Chain A
Amino acid sequence: MGEPLTFEDFVEARLQALLRYAVMLTGDPHTAQDLVQETMIRAQLKWRRVAAAGVPEHYVKRMLTNAYIDLNRGSWLRRVVLRAEPVERAGVEDHAQQSADRDQMWHWLGRLPRRQRAALVLRYYEGLSDIEIAEVLGCAVGTVRSSISRALVTLRVHVTPAFEGGTR
């Protein structure tokens, strides 16, 4: 075993990637920032446990994803995010509203159940395998696959490819 990964090294190497991931999850830079900030604070406080995990990045991603999925439930993030408007509305809807015409895909991503959206982001943005996605989401591989196929069905129904293709 080499030197254990320090928190600082992890931040240096992975913070930007986690922010990207959080933006794709939440659809909103501000919520993403709050989510990452809170997750990283928690990760730092229990860093020894995080570093001992097989892939620390997956561990942190799992913390972040759980926090995102729990946003609905009046979770810890609700308590820490000092925001005038409810987190739910903070960006996904507003942002989608502005660019609804331009970006149907983003709009419908925002309407998917959070677990389904997370699975899509992990596969199509982060490029993880289904096994890795299952690890991050803490569920069975079969569940990952069914989440993704259900999400794709929803998107297929609502997103008009011609419209989407000719927008930019």
Chain B
Amino acid sequence: MMDELLRAAFDRHEEFVPVAADLRPAIAAGARRRRARRRWAWSGGALLMLALLAVVPQVLPLRPPAIAQLSLGDAPPAHPMQFLLLGTDRKPGAVAEPVRADAIVLLHVDPATRTVYQISIPGDLLLDLPGFGTQKASAAFLFGGYSLTAQAVTGLTGIPIDGGAVVDFEGMQTITKAAGGVELCVDERAVSTHVFLDSEGRVTHDVGAGHPVVYEVGCRHFAAWEALDYLRLGGTSEARDRHLRQYLAAMVRQLSDPVQLSRMIPVASGAVDLHLGDASLATLASAAHLDPARVLGVRLPTRPGDGGLLPAPGGDGLYTALRTTTVPAWLAAHPEQVG
């Protein structure tokens, strides 16, 4: 009799069993990550830079093109990769202040079409944080740093993340400075709230010391301080995310120049906190053959919700497209999400 009760109790709880398919990506990613950890050998700044942008196009510029690659046998896998780039609001010198990730960019790298898609995850998007309930995406960093943020993003999209990098305001300025500034196109006139020009035309952070710096519409060269200031402006977080995508695309174009890249490598290691995860040298190298002109921005479909943004139903189509490498088709059907 007791055995019947036991069997009945087990049967009643079968409805709580999770679906196996949901677990498979995590298992595959976990195994890859641990394999990579075993064979991982740190090789310095070059890789830092690779993972930061995941897209540096011509690290090996003199290498013969793709056909020679294919014959190598151990050519890197052609499957798409995901990298997570987090920009935090950590300020220089502020030790005890809570740090959030106010910029979260998922980079989807498709070696087959040599394209990079930048998908901004709005900081206000409400996500399920394992162990912390529903929270804004930007708070994931506060609770659990890079790894919890990566977990939450994977929870949203269902796609494992291969590696990533965390950069704060200062680190970004260092990198931009080392790149000698950046070419940016202003799409909306912006007036600085942080940087001012005094009567002699000198730059100051002193509010009221003179006229605020104004960024007029058009394309031009930005010094590092201008670029960083511009990235912090923008009336909405959506505008800021868009500007960041434009900045990243511009940086990728610049770093496709090996001279530029070599100038960058020595400073990058100090400026970026790298989370390589399971990204091995081979997979990173496969990202190195991308077309600098093919760095596309994608807006995540969202809708307003209670206390933050919610994923819009249309997002599922995007996640499926990411998993199946059919992003171009999805974007063709949803042109409003490009940009």
Contact = CB atoms under 8 A, between A and B. Distances in A.
Interface string B8-43: 111011101111100110110011001100000000
B141 to A, nearest CB: 14
A41 B27 contact: yes
B23 A19 contact: yes
Contacts of A106: 9, 12-13
A36 B20 CA distance: 10
A23 B16 contact: yes
A44 B27 contact: yes
Contacts of A161: 1, 5
B31 A44 contact: yes
A125 B27 contact: no
B10 A45 contact: no
A45 B33 CA distance: 11
B7 interface: yes
B333 interface: no
Contacts of B18: 19, 23, 29, 32-33
Contacts of B131: 82-85
A38 B29 CA distance: 11
A36 B2 CA distance: 28
B10 A24 contact: yes
A103 B35 contact: no
B6 interface: yes
B20 A83 contact: no
Contact of B9 (A16, A38, A103): A103
Interface residues of B, number: 32
Q: Which of B9, B14, B26 has the most CB of A within 10 A?
A: B9
B10 A82 contact: no
A82 B31 CA distance: 17
Contacts of B151: 82
Interface string A1-40: 0000000000100011001100110010100110011101
Contacts of A84: 131-132
A64 interface: no
Nearest to B3: A124
Given A29-B18, A41-B30, A103-B12, A83 B130 contact: yes
Interface in A130-154: 152
Given A37-B30, A44-B31, A121-B10, A164 B5 contact: yes
B23 A15 contact: yes
B250 interface: no
Q: Which of A37, A85, A156 has the most CB of B within 10 A?
A: A37
A122 to B, nearest CB: 11
Contact of A45 (B16, B19, B35): B35
Given A41-B30, A45-B34, A105 B9 contact: yes
B6 A105 contact: yes
Contact of B16 (A29, A44, A152, A155): A29
Contact of A29 (B1, B7, B17, B132): B17
Contacts of A85: 131
Interface of B: 1-3, 5-10, 12-14, 16-20, 23-24, 26-27, 30-31, 34-35, 130-132, 144, 147-148, 151
